[in-house]
Amino acid sequence: MASKSGANADWANEKRNIVMPIVRVELLPGRSPEMKQALVDRIIAAFGEVCGTKPEALDVIFTEVAREDWFVGGQSYAAKPAVKP
C-alpha cells in the first residue's frame, strides 16, 4: 500500500504530465457559491472548447478582495456607493 505522501507525489506527477492552466478570478466579496460554480462551469467549458483542456486539468482560483483594498481611478470601492454584484 502506498503511503499518503506517496499518493500525493503520484497525483502531483500525474498533474505535471498534463497541461495545467490556472485561471485566477479576482472579485469583490458577495458572490454566492452557486454563482462561482456557474462561472467555473463556463470557464471549464470554454477552455475545453478552445484549448482542448480536460476539466480535471484546469484550476480556477477565486480571490475576494475587500472593497477598501481595491482602487479604481484613485478611489477605493469602499468610498463608492455599493453596487449589487
pTM of structure = 0.68
The pLDDT value recorded for residue 14 is 61
Report the alpha-carbon distance of residue 65 to residue 27 in Å, rounded.
Answer: 6
- 60 belongs to a structural domain: yes
- 74 belongs to a structural domain: no
Mean pLDDT of 36-61: 95
Domain that residue 30 falls in: 21-67
- 73 belongs to a structural domain: no
Residue 41 has pLDDT above 60, yes or no: yes
- 1 belongs to a structural domain: no
- 25 belongs to a structural domain: yes
Write the CATH number for 36. 3.30.429.10
3-39 residue pLDDT tens: 556 666 565 556 555 567 999 999 999 999 999 999 9
Report the alpha-carbon distance of residue 45 to residue 68 in Å, rounded.
Answer: 33
Our count of domains for the chain comes to 1
